[in-house]
Amino acid sequence: MVRTDSPQRKGKVSITDNPDQLVFTVTMRKLQETDSDWYWCGVESDPVDDCTPLFLEVRKGIQSVRTRSWISAESGMSVTIRCHYDQKYKHHVKYWCKGYTWLHCTTIVRTDSPQSKGEVSIHDDPNQLVFNVTMRNLQEKDSDWYWCVVEIDWGSDDGVFLQLMVKTRVSKTNALFKKPQHATSTKHSDILSSTTSHPTGWESATFIYTSLSPTVTVEEFNSTNPAK
Are the beta carbons of 82 and 106 closer than 8 angstroms?
A: no
Choose the weakest-confidence range: 10-19, 131-140, 177-186.
177-186
Mean pLDDT, to the nearest integer, of 185-201?
33
Residue type at 153?
D
**201 CA to centre of own chain:** 15
**54 lies in some domain:** yes
**61 CA to centre of own chain:** 18
pLDDT value, residue 106? 94
Round to whole Å and give the CA distance between 114 and 95. Answer: 11
**1 lies in some domain:** no
CATH number at residue 158: 2.60.40.10
**203 lies in some domain:** yes
**182 lies in some domain:** yes
Are the beta carbons of 153 and 59 closer than 8 angstroms?
A: no
**104 lies in some domain:** yes
Confidence of residue 120 (pLDDT cuts 50, 70, 90): very high
141 — phi, psi (to 5°)?
A: -65, -15
Round to whole Å and give the CA distance between 123 and 29. Answer: 34
Residue type at 61?
G
Range of the domain at 165: 9-219
98 vs 206, residue with greater confidence: 98
Helix (H, G, I), strand (E, B) or coil at 66: strand
pLDDT value, residue 62? 67
For residue range 63-102, what is the model confidence (pLDDT) as tens digits? 899 998 889 899 999 999 999 999 999 999 999 999 987 7
Round to whole Å and give the CA distance between 41 and 71. Answer: 15
Torsion angle defined by CA atoms of residues 76, 66, 199 and 157, in that order, rounded to the nearest 10 degrees = 110
Neighbouring C-beta atoms of residue 92, cutoff 10 Å = 19
Q: How far is CA 157 from CA 33, 96, 125, 162, 227, in A?
A: 26, 12, 19, 16, 20
Round to whole Å and give the CA distance between 63 and 195. Answer: 9
- With pLDDT > 90 as the criterion, what percentage of the chain qualifies? 44
Torsion angle defined by CA atoms of residues 198, 83, 181 and 104, in that order, rounded to the nearest 10 degrees = -120
Smallest CA-to-CA distance from 95 within 49, 171, 146 is with: 146
- With pLDDT > 70 as the criterion, what percentage of the chain qualifies? 72
**226 lies in some domain:** no
**3 lies in some domain:** no
Overall domain count for the chain: 1
**120 lies in some domain:** yes
Summary mean pLDDT of the chain: 76
pLDDT value, residue 53? 85
Position 190 pLDDT exceeds 80: no
